[in-house]
Amino acid sequence: MKLSLGRYRSMLMVQIGFLLADLIFNTFCEIFRFESVILLVVFVIQDVCLVFSLIIVFLSFISTYIFQAGLVGILVTQFRTAILVSLAYTGLSITFHVTSLNKRWDDPMSPKWWNPGLLILYVVQRFMAAIYYYYYKRTALRIADPRFYDDLAWFKEYAS
């Protein structure tokens, strides 16, 4: 199964769209810090986008020749770091969203909800976002390598 240019372009645009959406959500979500319901909706949309971006990466994996030949271990080895970073970032984001909404829901105007634990979680989540953006973009570009879609000798050597 060959990856057509149109299909690759559309998959890449969707993946870049999810990255941009997450960047925008992370950048501008504090605008709604005094509106808990709006912030809840923004956080839910962001988390759904993160889950969809993971699904799209796994769909890209499934469409490769290597996956269809049953050599899933090669893909896992090639993209292990990207998968772990994506899962960690998604988990951190959901944890931060739930924790921050629990703290600020009743009194969003109070500055008391920024406790040290939440602040550390916020900083770690934002730092992990930068790492996630790098690995997700790298994965989206690497998965388009024609080697993953052809029956070539490179993975026979790799497998042995």
- How do the pLDDT tens digits run along the chain, 160 residues long? 455 666 778 888 899 999 999 999 999 988 888 888 999 999 999 999 999 999 999 988 888 877 887 878 888 888 999 999 999 999 999 999 999 999 888 777 777 778 899 999 999 999 999 999 999 999 998 887 767 766 665 556 665 5
pLDDT at residue 12 in the model: 85
SS3 of 18, please? helix
Instruction: Quickly count: other Cβ atoms within 10 Å of residue 140's Cβ.
Output: 23
Residue from 65, 61, 50 nearest 18 by CA: 50
φ, ψ of residue 64 to 5 degrees: the values are -80, 155
Tokens 């020749």 label which residue? 65
Residue 144's pLDDT is what? Answer: 76
**What count of Cα atoms within 13 Å lies in the side-chain half-sphere of residue 20?**
6
User: How many residues in total does the chain contain?
Assistant: 160
Look at residue 1 in the predicted model and tell me its pLDDT.
46
